[in-house]
Amino acid sequence: MVLPLLTRLDHVGIACRDLDRAVALYQATFGLEVASLEVNEEQGVREAMLAVGPAGAGPGSLGVFVAGVRPGYVQLLEPLSPDTPVGKFIARRGEGIHHVGYGVADIKEALATVAGTGIRLLDERPRHGSMGASIAFLHPADLGGVLTELVEPLTSA
Ligand code: CMX
Ligand code: CO
């Protein structure tokens, strides 16, 4: 395993009650564009990924990879029901930053390495994430209160 394990900041996950309103706010305020809009039943969310440069910065860009560079993203998350991770989070804390996602080169290797440090894995095996990525979560209580997501993009950048 090559260290450091985390290769880049992939996205900031933000919990919101109304996805359409949150997307409109980020579009109106920052001019960001929606790169993908998906429902992930397994994660209990309807979500939008809004690309933030470098590759996503150009006018009209939808956040696709340019020259192998994956942009960073704002991930806006609306719970599918109150009894989901994001639904429970909003009930307890209100809207706001829910998690941070970091890129990894090989998610299975990364999970094995992190598990060896004693940090609890919320996912023993990678799951399906937005835009075809493989994702896995690490326990916030073991990482200073920050829910942390590892992301291996579909096309590794
Ligand atoms: N960040 C930090 N702490 C969190 C948290 C978060 N996002 N969500 C819950 N917690 C804390 C709570 O504040 C609470 O802490 P205290 O006991 O100190 O008060 C504790 O965790 C338990 O809270 P809970 O509401 O009972 O939540 P659960 O234990 O049922 O679940 C967690 C918490 C993190 C294990 C669960 O949310 C989880 O498995 N998350 C991973 C999956 C996920 O979040 N998917 C949505 C995003 C999908 C995507 O990015 O693609
Ligand atoms: Co995420």
Q: Which atom of ligand 1 is nearest to the CA of 91?
A: 25
pLDDT tens for 116-132 read: 999 999 999 999 999 99
Residue 13 beta carbon below 6 angstroms from any ligand 1 atom: yes
53 forms bridges with which residues in the sheet? none
Q: If we measure between CA atoms, which residue out of 56, 51, 77, 52 comes closest to residue 66? A: 56
pLDDT tens for 4-45 read: 999 999 999 999 999 999 999 999 999 999 999 999 999 999
Q: Which atom of ligand 1 is nearest to the CA of 122?
A: 39
Provide the whole-model pTM: 0.94
pLDDT at 86: 98
Residue 88 beta carbon below 6 angstroms from any ligand 1 atom: yes
Give the burial class of 10: count Cβ atoms within 10 A of its Cβ; 0-12 exposed, 13-18 middle, 19 or more buried.
Answer: buried
